[in-house]
Structure 1
Amino acid sequence: MAYAYIALTIIGAWVLAFANAPLTVWLLIVALALGVVTVSQASLSVPLAIAWVVLLVIGAIFAVPPVRRRLISDRLYPRFRKVVPPMSSTEREALEAGTVWWEGELFGGRPHWKRLLSVPPPKLTPEERAFLDGPVEELCRLVDDWDITHVRRDLPPEVWAFLKRHRFFGMIIPKRYDGLEFSALAHSEVVMKLASRSVTAAVTVMVPNSLGPAELLLHYGTDAQKDYYLPRLARGEEIPCFALTGPEAGSDASAMPDYGIVARGQFEGREVIGIRLTWEKRYITLGPVATVLGLAFKLYDPERLLGGEVERGITLALIPTTTPGVVIGERHNPLDIPFQNGPNSGRDVFVPLEWIIGGKDYIGQGWRMLVERLAVGRGISLPALSTGSGKLASRATGAYARVRRQFKVPIGRFEGVEEVLARIAGQTYLMDAARTLTVAGIDLGEQPAVVSAIVKYHLTERMRLVVNDAMDIQGGSGICLGPRNFMGRGYQGLPISITVEGANILTRSLIIYGQGAIRCHPYLFKEVQAVASADTERGRVDFDRALFGHIGFFISRFARALWLSLTGGRLAFIAVRGPARRYAGQLHRLSAAFAFASELAIATLGGSLKRREKLSGRLADALSLLYLGSAAVKRFEDHGRPAEDLPLLAWACEDTIYRTEQALVGLLRNFPSRLVAAIARLVIFPFGPRARPPSDRLGADVGRLLLAPSAARDRLTAGIFVPGDRESAVGRIEHALPLVVAAESIERKLQGVGEGEGVLNPDAVLEAARAQGLISEEEANLVREARIARRAVIMVDAFAPSQF
């Protein structure tokens, strides 16, 4: 009987820990169990009496907040204040920006899959679909990327006029201000489609609709600012840019030397209180052609003309570029991708206070405004551009691998090329899944700061992998620039996406986990806020609640991680059914493993984890991969579980699951405390790492999807520009692929025809085969047409010396 009680106690404790039950529930359950035992015995035994005493003591200490505070938390409070590193105002504002969404559930180790699957798949409105099928399609046909990049070094005037006439710069602006008022999905789809045709055109469109004056005015502008600027921006009468980065301050905005001094001055013939601005900025997209300049600077009020403090903080203003003293510099050359980009500066430029975005109420709020809106724009534009490149590579390079032959065999049939094609398709599937899940969240009202950093980093990095792989397959046709080369300019521009809107190295090592740990953890930010505040009664009460909530959370993460690791995630309670369930179960297991590893890292390293960027980078990888993997499951479910897409789902999930495990293995292998690492390894990997990368057989199934027209190929590459002509490079490939596929079975009949008879000319072989009745005249003509189409695809551009 005693053993049964012990077993039941252990099971009960495990269930309570797994469910993260409150301490009061623990005490009530234990008290109930002791009560049953007490009633069942004739007399109160010494061990049972001791158990009751221990229960009462524990209850008094831990369940009565005043006692708990006096004995524990009030003693720990000053120690925590010494350990927790101080936060600058810019750090605090960055941490408080945006919302926590699905990444919070993954971070906590208890993702609710039903909640994820209930997120409606994003859909375009009829108006948005008409815009994509109409003006966007027409713009893609109008654009000649070789003319833009090699000849003009700019968009031609008719393209600029087209963009303005059809309000491409006003996609995010409401209709009441003459904008298009598109959803995040539509914004993403437009950029993705343009990116598959011209990076220059895509960047030109995406920047005014991302972090820029329109976005800031919409959320913070005064009514007068909105009424004046938004219609003009929507109609293209004003071309905006936003100047944030300078020579001395990139990712560290708090270090910007650009400043404004509150002073009296003359404006439009009258004396007003305004700001004298001095700044130097660079890398400003659309800067060379901008008519209105958004500017970030530090504001000072040495004469206290506004009252209050002298240092007023980072502030944003909107300045017409015709303002006296504004200097619009010459153009940068971003790796021969000639979108308008350049420096600007100003010295002692006087502007009225009314030009501050949001007016006087938003003085000193600039950094918060930027990080709040950057979270949205960063989650749309660059992921869309990256996915467009991946889809282009999947469709066009996959077709090229079927059309191009070596040793009388399509190069896509070689296992080495097949392996690369699988990576291209699998990574593109992941990119598109993450893109659509993110814009779905944004359209639901989320401002996912951590997710936007995840998709910015991982989708641009995957674009780099995919484009590099495509270049390897393209071979000589990829490295010879010209109108026939559809990958060369994208390859040149890869580092641009990696660099802008938060350099990827810092995004991975500092932002994803550094911001994610604070924002996504249910108690950590509360603890930091409590110890960062003044030493008050309120602060101590908040610290006590957060601390003991955190302790319970830690115990629960331990129980969940161990149970799911022991069972391989097979017994996880998840709402996913069908083929995707096995992958959702593994992601569920790894979410719990990540949460426990993260708890150990926070508990043992504390504030120093912020400086251990290699460790935080691995934690960032694990969290990011969990997001990408769950996005792949969500995509498969949203598409109705198509059987043809199952290889893509399997490759994407097996790759992310394997890489997540490897990130955690790397974390434990390099963890400073070997004892803690050993404990974590026993909990997370009791039987060792179990995931494997996608198999060769699976890779073959995925690679073959790109080699022939199919519904799966069309779904994977949906949304890019597919020319219907034979003049463009992609159009020629699209024309050749079905012909080559259809001709292959005929060409097999030609094997051996003319051998030993001196018949070498391909046309003569066709005639001989027709004469022998092996093929019909129609079949001979199909083979001829396929050969002409193949020849048109594999040709590369050559130029006269005078053209260089």
Structure 2
Amino acid sequence: MMFVALILFIAVVTALLYYRVSLFAGSVALLAATFVLSLFAGSMWWLFWLVLAGVAVLNYGPLRLTLLTRPVYGMLQKAMPPMSDTEREALEAGTTWWEKDLFSGHPDWARFQAIQPPTLSEAEQSFLDNEVETLCAMIDEWEVYQQHDLNEATWAYLKEQGFFGLIIPEEFGGRDFSPYAQSRIMSKIASRSITGAVTAMVPNSLGPGELLMKYGTEEQKQRWLPGLAKGEEIPCFGLTGPEVGSDAGAIPDTGVVCRGQFEGEEVVGLRLNFRKRWITLAPIATVVGLAFKLRDPDGLLGDPDKTDYGITCALLPADTDGVQIGTRHNPGTPFMNGPIIGRDVFIPLDWIIGGPEMAGRGWRMLIECLGVGRGISLPSLATASGEMNYLMVGAYSRIRRQFNMEVGKFEGVQEATADIAASAVTLEAMRELVTRGLQDGAPSVVTAMAKYHATELMRTSVNHGMDVVSGRAIQMGPRNFMAFAYRGVPVAITVEGANILTRSLMIFGQGAMRCHPYLFDEMQTLQEAGSEAGLRAFDGLLLRHLGHIFSNITRLKLFGFTASRFSPVPASADDFSRRWYQHLNHMSAALAVCADIALGVLGGELKRREMLSARLGDVHSQLFIACSLLKFREHEKRSEALDLHIDVAMALALFRAQTALLAYLENFPVRFLGATFRLACFPLGRIHKGPSDEQLRRLGNLIMEPNPVRELLASRIYLPQDAEDAVGRVERTYQTLLQVDDTWQRFLKAWGRGEVNGEDMDSALADAVSREVISEEAAAGIRQYDAMRFDCLLTDDFDSL
């Protein structure tokens, strides 16, 4: 009976922690269990009452403050570095969304199920089908590459059709499209031209338009937005410089409040000096958004005790006296990009975006607006590359033959093409969930995840494509369908924050603060040194935080030992998705526990442990990616092909999450804790093995075949049918192959076995017809296809370079 009582007592405690019962209700339940079970516990009765005594201490506020809260509060105040205003603004910027559930260790699947996929309005679909289609047909990327610019007709069309005003409200002449529509539009353009996409996306992401809509005065909106919407004004935004890249807070550019002459009158204004680099659209911009550090040494803004205001954003015409603009950088992909220099530039105060009262608020503006570029623009470019790769590499690997077999049937190639296929579906799924989140708010952590992982998937996918297409992809020329995506990868990787810093500093750095249910509030109370109110606020937070930790540890142990088979899933889950949702429950609990270990043990030192924080960020990101895949499958038309793609992509996501978590635990500075929690996370050993060889073979074969996923991805990009076009040539050849494939394969097998004789294709076909292996009509189709096939394999050559 004694051991039965002990087991029942442990079960009660486990249930209370698992379901996160409130402290008071849990204490009452524990008291009742202790009273009853101690009667049967024999000599172990004291253990039950000891546990109850510990819980009683937590219930009694004065004793809890003395024994627990005050010592912890003092220790953390010494350990945690002070939070600067800049850091606080960065952390407060934006919103949180589904990523917060994943970080909690207890995802609310009913909430996830309620998330509806983004859709296009009638106007948005029409714009994609008409204006975007027309724009894509106008662009010849080889011509752009040679001329280092879009042609005049394309520029005129971009302006006339409102491509620069997609985010601007209709009242100012813009199109007011949703984040999802913007992403789909940019993807379709990018599938045709990286240069065209970058040109169109910049005014619709980080730029004066967005800043004006969110923060501008009514006068500023009326002055600038109509011109921006019509393309009469071309915007750029000056943030980065020779010594400022990802560390935007280190801007050396200055604005000093002083008196000066403006339009013949003496006014209070700003004296600006700046040197910006790598600014897209700068060479042709008519209006410049500018970030700088503002100082008011004479108190002219009204506060004599405040000199340094911090980062501020202003908007000025490009032809303002002292502004030098017009020269170009060469980023490899020939979009407009160049420096902006300003020496002794004087502007009135009301050119500050939002007016003088927004002085010093620029950092928050930038953090929130950078999220759009991270969440829409660059992921849409990556998605286009991934989808074009799927279609073109899949088709080419079936057209191209080596050793009398399609190259796509070699297992080594299939390992690469299967990854291309899984990446393309992952990118599309991520796009839909991320833009849905942007429609609901401005989730800064999600957009950082999207930027980093989408562009890294693009890099891997394009590199795989280059390997498969090989020499055909290396030689530059109008036939090359891979080169421009390859040249565009470094741009996507670098823009809007270098990927290394996005991964190692931002995703978990912001994620821990914004997504943890208590950490940010606790940090704020720690800034109130010696405050009794701060101590008492911390007391309540600490109590809930401890409950959060012990609940997640309990859930983690249960999930680890039961393979999470009995954990909750959404009501919509079917046999395919049920196990994946349960695995996500387990990994979410593991992430929550490991994050609290890092924060509790390392404290402020975690800032410098970038490899550790990056791995925790990878776990968080991969769980979000996995959720996007399940949501994508939920609303798309079901098919075996889609299930195979999702299955492989899910296996990769969770394998990557597990790998990152294990690397984090193996390298945790306190080795004993790392080993202990590795056992807690994976008591039965590694769970996720990644996709099997059989799955990779099946997916490697499927990418070469017509299938529902190929059709879906083809609908999201521009797919020309022109036989003289780099992409159209491959697509037409592939479609022709599908029409003749049965007879083509029969002929090749007969020829290979010696049943048909011939030194070349024509003589072999003639012999095949004479032997009635194929008909004359079939031979004519094969001759046509073979000519197209050979033309498809050729690379460009030139008289001179």
Bucket of the pairwise TM-score, normalised by the shorter protein: over 0.9
Does 2:24 align with 1:24?
A: yes
Equivalent positions of 1:621-640 (< 5 A) are 621-640=618-637
Equivalence for 1:159? 154
Aligned 8 A contact 2:144 2:334 in 1: yes
Equivalent positions of 1:222-371 (< 5 A) are 222-308=217-303, 309-335=306-332, 337-371=333-367
Take 1:504 and 1:8, find their aligned partners in 2: how far apart are those partners?
Answer: 51
> Per the alignment, in what secondary structure is the counterpart of residue 577 of structure 2?
helix
Equivalent positions of 1:600-679 (< 5 A) are 600-679=597-676
Aligned 8 A contact 1:314 1:367 in 2: yes
Cα 1:53–1:787 shift into 2, 3 Å:
closer
- Further displaced range: 581-590 or 176-185: 581-590
Cα 1:725–1:329 shift into 2, 3 Å:
closer
Letter paired with 1:638: H
Alpha-carbon offset, residue 93 of structure 1: 1.2
> Per the alignment, in what secondary structure is the counterpart of residue 284 of structure 1?
strand
Of residues 463, 466, 475, the one that matches 1:471 is: 466
How far does the alpha carbon of each residue in 1:771-802 deviate from its partner, in whole angstroms, 9 at most, with x for none? 3333222211111111122122111111111x
- Further displaced range: 634-643 or 454-463: 634-643
> Per the alignment, in what secondary structure is the counterpart of residue 453 of structure 2?
helix
Instruction: Report the RMSD for the aligned CA atoms in angstroms.
Output: 2.0
Take 1:722 and 1:102, find their aligned partners in 2: how far apart are those partners?
Answer: 34
Letter paired with 1:762: M
Aligned 8 A contact 2:751 2:757 in 1: no
Aligned 8 A contact 2:448 2:506 in 1: yes
How far does the alpha carbon of each residue in 1:135-174 deviate from its partner, in whole angstroms, 9 at most, with x for none? 1001110000000012x10111111100000000000001
Alpha-carbon offset, residue 52 of structure 1: 6.3
Equivalent positions of 1:370-769 (< 5 A) are 370-443=366-439, 445-575=440-570, 576-750=573-747, 751-752=749-750, 759-769=758-768
Letter paired with 2:719: V
Cα 1:76–1:266 shift into 2, 3 Å:
same
Alpha-carbon offset, residue 87 of structure 1: 2.2
Cα 1:257–1:49 shift into 2, 3 Å:
closer
> Per the alignment, in what secondary structure is the counterpart of residue 379 of structure 1?
helix
Alpha-carbon offset, residue 635 of structure 1: 0.7
Take 2:50 and 2:309, find their aligned partners in 1: how far apart are those partners?
Answer: 58
> Per the alignment, in what secondary structure is the counterpart of residue 277 of structure 2?
strand
> Per the alignment, in what secondary structure is the counterpart of residue 588 of structure 1?
helix
> Per the alignment, in what secondary structure is the counterpart of residue 718 of structure 2?
coil
Alpha-carbon offset, residue 22 of structure 1: 2.2
How far does the alpha carbon of each residue in 1:224-263 deviate from its partner, in whole angstroms, 9 at most, with x for none? 1111111110000100000011112222222211111111
Take 2:420 and 2:188, find their aligned partners in 1: how far apart are those partners?
Answer: 18
Identity of aligned residues (%): 45
Does 2:8 align with 1:13?
A: no
Take 2:432 and 2:263, find their aligned partners in 1: how far apart are those partners?
Answer: 49
Aligned 8 A contact 2:394 2:703 in 1: yes
Letter paired with 2:358: Y
Equivalence for 1:185? 180
Alpha-carbon offset, residue 643 of structure 1: 2.3
Alpha-carbon offset, residue 36 of structure 1: 4.7
Take 2:89 and 2:756, find their aligned partners in 1: how far apart are those partners?
Answer: 82
Letter paired with 2:777: E
Aligned 8 A contact 1:394 1:717 in 2: no
Alpha-carbon offset, residue 532 of structure 1: 1.6
Letter paired with 2:179: A
Take 2:474 and 2:396, find their aligned partners in 1: how far apart are those partners?
Answer: 15
Letter paired with 1:705: L
- Further displaced range: 101-110 or 734-743: 734-743
Take 2:756 and 2:241, find their aligned partners in 1: how far apart are those partners?
Answer: 74
> Per the alignment, in what secondary structure is the counterpart of residue 380 of structure 1?
helix
How far does the alpha carbon of each residue in 1:299-322 deviate from its partner, in whole angstroms, 9 at most, with x for none? 111110112211111110001011
Alpha-carbon offset, residue 752 of structure 1: 4.3
Aligned 8 A contact 1:20 1:552 in 2: yes
Cα 1:65–1:375 shift into 2, 3 Å:
farther
Aligned 8 A contact 1:273 1:352 in 2: yes
Take 1:229 and 1:779, find their aligned partners in 2: how far apart are those partners?
Answer: 64
Cα 1:756–1:264 shift into 2, 3 Å:
closer
Q: In structure 1, list runs of 5 or more residues that go unmatched.
A: none
> Per the alignment, in what secondary structure is the counterpart of residue 665 of structure 1?
helix
Equivalence for 2:59? 63
Cα 1:752–1:472 shift into 2, 3 Å:
same
Cα 1:603–1:753 shift into 2, 3 Å:
closer
Take 2:620 and 2:505, find their aligned partners in 1: how far apart are those partners?
Answer: 13
Equivalence for 2:101? 105
Take 1:50 and 1:254, find their aligned partners in 2: how far apart are those partners?
Answer: 55
Cα 1:123–1:366 shift into 2, 3 Å:
same
Aligned 8 A contact 2:272 2:344 in 1: yes
Take 1:478 and 1:117, find their aligned partners in 2: how far apart are those partners?
Answer: 43
Q: In structure 2, list runs of 5 or more residues that go unmatched.
A: none
How far does the alpha carbon of each residue in 1:609-652 deviate from its partner, in whole angstroms, 9 at most, with x for none? 11101111111111111111111111111114322211101110
> Per the alignment, in what secondary structure is the counterpart of residue 310 of structure 2?
strand
Take 2:244 and 2:751, find their aligned partners in 1: how far apart are those partners?
Answer: 71
Take 2:733 and 2:560, find their aligned partners in 1: how far apart are those partners?
Answer: 50
Aligned 8 A contact 2:284 2:326 in 1: no
Report the TM-score when normalising by structure 1: 0.96
> Per the alignment, in what secondary structure is the counterpart of residue 207 of structure 1?
helix
Aligned 8 A contact 2:387 2:424 in 1: yes
Letter paired with 1:463: M
> Per the alignment, in what secondary structure is the counterpart of residue 502 of structure 1?
coil
How far does the alpha carbon of each residue in 1:179-226 deviate from its partner, in whole angstroms, 9 at most, with x for none? 010000100001111111100000001111001100100010000111
Aligned 8 A contact 1:636 1:642 in 2: no
Take 2:309 and 2:299, find their aligned partners in 1: how far apart are those partners?
Answer: 10
Take 2:49 and 2:194, find their aligned partners in 1: how far apart are those partners?
Answer: 72
Cα 1:507–1:349 shift into 2, 3 Å:
same
Take 1:128 and 1:153, find their aligned partners in 2: how far apart are those partners?
Answer: 30
> Per the alignment, in what secondary structure is the counterpart of residue 694 of structure 2?
helix
- Further displaced range: 748-757 or 372-381: 748-757
Take 1:723 and 1:217, find their aligned partners in 2: how far apart are those partners?
Answer: 38
Aligned 8 A contact 2:756 2:764 in 1: no
How far does the alpha carbon of each residue in 1:756-780 deviate from its partner, in whole angstroms, 9 at most, with x for none? 9973232222222223333222211
Aligned 8 A contact 2:69 2:539 in 1: yes
Letter paired with 1:219: K
Letter paired with 2:638: R
Aligned 8 A contact 2:750 2:756 in 1: no
The runs of 4+ residues in structure 1 deviating greater than 6 Å are: 44-54
Alpha-carbon offset, residue 5 of structure 1: 2.9
Alpha-carbon offset, residue 37 of structure 1: 6.1
Letter paired with 2:461: V
> Per the alignment, in what secondary structure is the counterpart of residue 780 of structure 1?
helix
